[in-house]
Amino acid sequence: MTPQLQQAIRLLQLPVMDLTAQIQEALEENVMLEAEELPEPPRVNGESAAEEAPGDVRAVTAEDSWRDLPARSQDSGWSGDRGMSEFADESQESLHEHLHWQLELEKFTPREMLIGEAIIDAINDDGYLTVSLDEIRDIAGPELDVSEEEAERTLRKIQRFDPAGIAARSLSECIDLQLRQLAGDTPGLGLARELAAEHLERVAENDPAHLQRELHVSGDELTDALALIRGCHPRPGQAIAPARTEYVIPDVFVRKIDGEWLVEIASSGIPRLTVNQRYAEMLRGDGGHTALKAQLQEARWLVRSLEIRNETLMKVATCIVERQTDFFEHGEEAMKPMVLRDVAEAVEMHESTISRVTNNKYMHTPRGVLEFRYFFSSHVGSVDGEDQSSVAVRAKIRKLIGAEDRRKPLSDSKIAAMLKEDGVVVARRTVAKYREAMDIPSSSQRRERSSA
């Protein structure tokens, strides 16, 4: 890999604010670089980008596209968040830095190291793995040819890292990973693991009497088990990297002009670099000035690397917009299923490159400022054989619950049946998972709130 390509890939991963800082540093250190005057920021719907960005990430994203699981510390009855600040790491080390540090200390094979890095990169700030193992295998690349067993084995090793519960794929698995670290003779441990695996919704309903009758256990056994579950952290990643307010500046702007959806690179705040041609001409044919010639080469590399970054962003953003036109026209229920491979094949790039491009990149759209990764979602089967996006299915679930009779809330089973009538085939447990991911209480809790 050439130094220019290495630099282009590194710049590709930087969000706008970090990129701006990097460019400013280069301008201060390299006399061969000069910046053109900043252009006016693009206007969308009559408002300038500067008026809308930066903004709070959690406030501007329409929905977390990577299935963030809610803490639900008050609704569910466990107190994991209550003591989080007490145990939070104040070293300012990020969760990913903490996990990569442990990865380097473990006796992993070179292959496991590469797989482990892909897994860690897909873990969100709450500590959950946000992609499937099949996607991890794709990100690792065809040349590595990772088997399903190899990916699973590496994941199990990472799940033993600190903090306990890291790299879980669901709230149930997260709690079970933490329970596994307790001594085998801990009172109530076996029952607690059973509750985490099969009865977490019942635990969230906070009805111990019903659980005791259903499981045929004594009150003391259930009390011990529930105490263990409530001692687990629903968001283990926050123990290392407590949530902080983050600000984003869009990387691209999406607007509809004359009936067409168009993509434009956001230039606001990013200096446009050029090589100082006067200095370059002075050095031409001169056998001396080695240091200045090195700076000239670095300047040319940087300018070209920024061009490559913009070209790649443009290709990927345009592909996303073309594939998700129905979403821009009609909203979440029209979102199409799309994975990294779809875009990689369309733009003829490696999936790992697409992963880098979509990480921490945002587009300003008429529907809000959305992360690139928001548009990627898994496939959900349908009666007519045409798959639907999990984002669209979540939107349908939210719509059904929003229109329900508050005195008779819809159960997860009923929602699954209604979706099937609409042509979407999902299991009750999938409905429950999507509902919890949207922080929507269970039907019994909704009924209680309605009657209160």
Question: What is the per-residue pLDDT across 117-137, written as a single tens digit (0 to 9) for each?
Answer: 889 989 998 999 988 898 888
On the question of a cis peptide bond just before residue 54, with omega within 30 degrees of 0, the verdict is yes
CB within 8 A of 412, min separation 6: which ones? 428, 429, 431, 432, 435, 442, 443
Q: Check pLDDT > 60 for residue 43.
A: no
Task: For the beta carbon of residue 274, count every other beta carbon within 10 angstroms.
Answer: 13
Q: Is residue 63 a part of any domain in this protein?
A: no
Are 444 and 405 part of one and the same domain? yes
Q: Any idea which of 38-42, 125-129, 442-446 has the lowest mean pLDDT?
A: 38-42
Higher pLDDT, 450 or 77: 450
Residue 59 inside a domain? The answer is no
> pLDDT at position 4, please?
63
Lowest-confidence segment of 82-86, 166-170, 252-256 by average pLDDT? 82-86
**Whether the Cβ atoms of residue 240 and residue 163 lie closer than 8 Å to each other:** yes
**How much is the mean pLDDT over the chain?**
79
Residue 57 belongs to some domain of the structure:
no
| Under 8 Å between Cβ of 382 and 326 | no
**Mean pLDDT value of segment 127-153:** 87
441 found inside a domain: yes
Distance of CA 406 to the CA centre of its chain: 33
CA distance linking residue 361 with residue 11, whole number of Å: 12
Question: Bridge-partner residues for 10, per DSSP?
Answer: none
Query: Sorting pLDDT into bands at 50, 70 and 90, what band is 286?
Result: low
Q: Is the pLDDT of residue 161 over 60?
A: yes
Helices (H), 13-77: 16-29, 49-52, 57-60, 73-76
Q: Which residue has the tokens 């801990």?
A: 186
Domain count, the chain: 3
Look at residues 372, 375, 367, 369 and name the one whose alpha carbon lies nearest to residue 55: 369
Residue 354, domain member (yes or no): yes
SS (H, E, C) 247-306: EECCCEEEEEECCEEEEEECCCCCCEEEECHHHHHHHCCCCCCHHHHHHHHHHHHHHHHH
Domain that holds residue 395: 379-451
Same domain, 312 and 212: no
DSSP 76-128: H---TTTTHHHH---S---HHHHHHHHHHHS---HHHHHHHHHHHHTB-TTSB
Co-location of 350 and 418 in the same domain:
no
Q: Pick from 334, 356, 375: which residue ends a domain?
A: 375
Among 375, 405, 438, identify where a domain stops: 375
How far is it, in rounded angstroms, from Cα 270 to Cα 309?
Answer: 13
What was the pLDDT predicted at 351?
81
Domain end point (choices 342, 375, 408): 375
Statement to judge: residues 137 and 171 lie in one domain: yes
Residues 82 and 228 in one domain: yes
Cα–Cα distance between 3 and 14 in angstroms, integer?
17
Do residues 83 and 229 share a domain?
Answer: yes
pLDDT digits (tens, 9 = 90+) for 272-285: 888 888 877 777 76
Residues 187 and 100 in one domain: yes
User: Would you say residue 67 lies in a domain?
Assistant: no
